[in-house]
Structure 1
Amino acid sequence: MKTFSDRLKHARLLRGHTQEELARLARISQSAIGSYESSLRQSSRSARKLAQVLKVELEWLETGKGSMELPLDGYDLSNTLPPANVAEPSQRAGRKPRPQAPWPFPNISPSHFDALTQDERNMLEALVQTYIETAQARRSLKPRRKQN
């Protein structure tokens, strides 16, 4: 595969995503994905997000050099996910499972997270859960403006 557009489309199809799904997961427009795949746009600043979502090496996606697949010793955060049915509702029969979202913390590398002990991860999870619950409660308590 000689071009960014070829590599992007190959990786997207290999991972089973539609253009719409990839766009949603990478938080860019579907038309941008279509433009990249049809060579109307060249690789972009979005390449890092696309590589994360597609779980491919960034250098391969951008240049075609190296291996497409991430190394086997790459980040596996599956042991940090909650048990089934805790965070996500169960899948309906016959539906394809949802792909995992890209790493959500732009200022924290996965290697820093991986270096935490299990107790530290549990504390971090409790802190984030408390923050989310507090933010949601505050939003529901905000007074609504009267409409005339």
Structure 2
Amino acid sequence: MDTFADRLRHARLLRGLSQVALARACDLSQSAISSYENGTRQSPKKLLSLAQTLEVDIYWLSRGQGDMMPLPVVARSLAEGAWPFSSIDPAQFWTLTRKDRQVVERAVSALIDSLLISGDKA
């Protein structure tokens, strides 16, 4: 993948996101995502947000250098499986804003902690 446009499209499709879903998650317009992907808009204002939302390395996304996925994401994916919830569609999760995804993550983390603590008492 030679261009930012190619890498962005590849990462978005890999995550199963529509342009609208990615735009919403990054607080951008769908037309901005479309412009990035067709190469008419070159310098994304929200490059960090795009990289974080897509869980890709920012240098890979912007310049095509290094590995696509940052090391912690690669290690987590290999160690624990790509998607841990059989009854939740990953595409639905990825349509949430970054802030909302963080709320979900904190809620799940608190529930896991609670279950681990109650399991110790049993």
Render the CA deviation track for 1:109-147: whole Å, top value 9, x for unaligned: xxxxxxxxx9xxxxxxxxxxxxxxxxxxxxxxxxxxxxx
Structure 1 range deviating more: 3-12 or 40-49: 40-49
What is the distance in 2 between the residues matched to 1:96 and 1:56? 16
**Amino acid of the residue matched to residue 34 of structure 1?**
S
CA-to-aligned-CA distance 1:18-38 (integer Å, 9 cap, x gap): 000000000000000000000
* Residue of structure 2 in register with 1:51 after alignment: 51
| Matched residue, 2:98 | 102
Change (3 A) 1:102 1:70: farther
State percent identity of aligned pairs.
43
Q: 1-side partners of 2:63 and 2:11: how far apart?
A: 14
- Higher Rg of the two aligned structures: 1
Q: TM-score, normalised by structure 1?
A: 0.53
Q: Is the 8 A contact 1:4 1:43 kept in 2?
A: no
Tell me which stretches of 4 or more aligned residues in structure 1 moved more than 4 Å: none
CA gap of 1:21–1:36, structure 2 versus 1, over 3 A, is: same
TM-score (norm 2): 0.63
SS at match of 1:44: coil
Helix, strand or coil: the match of 1:72? helix
In the TM superposition, 1:108-123 aligns within 5 A as: none
Aligned partner of 2:13 in structure 1 is 13
Residue 33 (structure 1) aligns with = 33
Deviating more after overlay: 4-13 vs 43-52: 43-52
Which stretches in structure 2 are left out of the alignment for 5+ residues?
A: 77-84, 101-109, 111-122
Aligned equivalents of 1:39, 1:47: Cα separation in 2:
15
2:70 maps to amino acid? L
The number of equivalent residue pairs is 93
Q: Deviations over 1:70-89 (max 9, x none)?
A: 11378x7xxxxxxx9xxxxx
- Read off the aligned partner of 2:59 and give its amino acid letter: E
Whose helix proportion is higher, 1 or 2? 2
Distance 1:31 1:60, change over 3 A: same
Q: CA deviation at 1:97?
A: 3.7
Task: Name which structure has the greater RCO, CA cutoff 8 Å, separation 6+.
Answer: 2
